[in-house]
Structure 1
């Protein structure tokens, strides 16, 4: 099946922060198991989640995994992103759109966080 990945971040007024997410999506695409990898933003920056999903559907996606690039399960993760995804599901019922767990819920984040904190100690010695 033609499966795509859409990395969804908040969006920032600082374009360099949005560009960081765009570069991350480009990096994730390298050697990926997905037919396409892109990013979208909940607010402030473009493309919007709906536009990002539309672009992937136009590129032939039959399944899209939406990956919320958020650390906590707040309103955006629990309400806003699912609402936008549901709107697109109604517009394109032939495409399966799944929402992955948000970044902060991943067990793999625990050692990354501890390593980041420990690396800071090395800079102090």
Structure 2
């Protein structure tokens, strides 16, 4: 695995809010599968704020135990709301303190990335064409 080389490997954590219905996580599972298929062995974990497991601290701890040294936490949210402005930075700060051997970076909300906005706009246009 790419992440086992004494803290030199990299991994991605796709972070979502979570829901009581397990089907809610299906799009995140599809994103993980696409990353793993195209990522050349890149470890990709899912993590959730509530209702689902693993939690972000659990996912980070698992990757750190595997020797991963760089972790990108990618919030699979449309926008920066309260959870991303307050809760997530606090969770990452706590995890960083527990795992100083890891560099943990918080990405912007996926829905704020230019490519995601363009993809949603294209999807919306396609919905009209399909009518």
Q: TM-score, normalised on structure 2?
A: 0.87
What is the SS of the residue equivalent to 1:85?
helix
Unaligned runs of 5+ in 1: none
For 1:94, the equivalent position in structure 2 comes to: 101
Decide whether the 8 Å contact of 2:35 with 2:42 is kept in 1: no
For 2:43, the equivalent position in structure 1 comes to: 36
* Equivalent position to 1:23, from 13, 24, 30: 30
Query: 1:11 & 1:68 partners in 2: Cα distance?
Result: 12
For 2:123, the equivalent position in structure 1 comes to: 116
Q: 1:88, CA displacement in angstroms?
A: 0.6
Decide whether the 8 Å contact of 1:22 with 1:38 is kept in 2: no
* Equivalent position to 2:18, from 6, 11, 22: 11
For 1:71, the equivalent position in structure 2 comes to: 78
* Equivalent position to 2:91, from 79, 84, 93: 84
RMSD of aligned C-alpha atoms? 1.4
Query: 1:20 & 1:104 partners in 2: Cα distance?
Result: 14
Q: 1:33-91: per-residue Cα shift (whole Å, max 9, x none)?
A: 56311110011100000001111111211111100111011011111111111101111
Unaligned runs of 5+ in 2: 1-7
| Count of aligned positions | 124
Q: 1:76-116: per-residue Cα shift (whole Å, max 9, x none)?
A: 11111111111011111111111111112101123212211
